[in-house]
Structure 1
Amino acid sequence: MRQFEGRQLLVATHNAGKLAEMRALLAPFGVAVMGAAEAGLAEPEETEDSFAGNARIKARAAVAATGLPALSDDSGICVDALDGAPGVHTADWAETGEGRDFGMAMARTWRELEARGAPDPRRAQFRCTLVLMWPDGHDEIVEGVLPGRVVWPPRGVHGHGYDPIFMPDGHDMTLGEMTAEQKNRLSHRARAVAALIEGCFA
């Protein structure tokens, strides 16, 4: 994998939590991180049917707009008995036209599992794909996967998205019941970032 030699990196996200996480993780390598909002970037339309494809759209748009190397991610939950749905449409399932309602999205997920009569355990994975792109168009792609199962009813008030109905393998708590520190040690994003750092920054 290509080593990252630069001192400035644009993280193509408008999510303040993701940005803070990346900033902290990359600080030991002397990399100054800027977010998409700070750079005045709009969010490009995600039109691909894969996490890697959508992450690449975001990275390419950020590089083109700023001339800086860019890091982007696309992530979601893939439920086995729903043929991998919602997958790249994870956020879409929560869209209401007036913001996102993940309570509605979690209820839809469970409703569809019930309609299919899916047996227990209802296996699922959280997936995170990161794309690091340089101004010359070269990119490196890494993925982090957190396997587990979907449970009901939702449990816990921490985290975000589908965390309250996802129980990682080897644990008896949902991500929604874990502290940020607990979750960040094992999350799909943490695993993807670890692979990226090992390949491009270490």
Structure 2
Amino acid sequence: MTFVPPSWWMLGLTKIGYLLIPLILGVLLALYGLMKDNILIVIIGVIIVIAGFGLASMAWHNNYEVPSVQEKIITVSDYQIKPNIGKNKQGMIVVDSADDLLLVTTDGESFLNEENFWFGKFNTRDLFNQLKCNGTYKIQYYGWREPFYSTFPNILTVEEVIDESNATNNNFNKYSGTNAAVGGWWF
């Protein structure tokens, strides 16, 4: 069965619902506790907010991320700076980890390489080094491209090396620092 991603408006409603419900319940309970001078009720309200966000994150993972896991064969073209990377005080973009880059394929698709707590993925630098430019790989990924929210699928693992005969090792220094203008993107 193929995963069908939600529309942009349904995605927004779902995210808002997952976040607003625990926030509203916890804040209302905490305010009630403040009005009644009951610190225990205030603490319970704060715990509901914190636990609610954790449960919402887990529910999002189980309902959307896990069902969207797929495999694909890709050929790496290059890496680009993600469009949402912030600037430092001097107005320069600072790339300080592999999380700040998008992998671009020869088919024009883009993939994130970000950490994910729920999948237990904490090896973005290792994957950056493994997915060499001009190399062809079978990857496992989750997520989908949603232009409205500027989201991209995220690589989980490299399942198989298909062809590295023309591949070149990645040089993180090419992409990192405060003056990295990669792939024609200069923010």
Normalising by structure 1, what TM-score? 0.25
Structure exhibiting the larger radius of gyration computed from Cα positions: 2
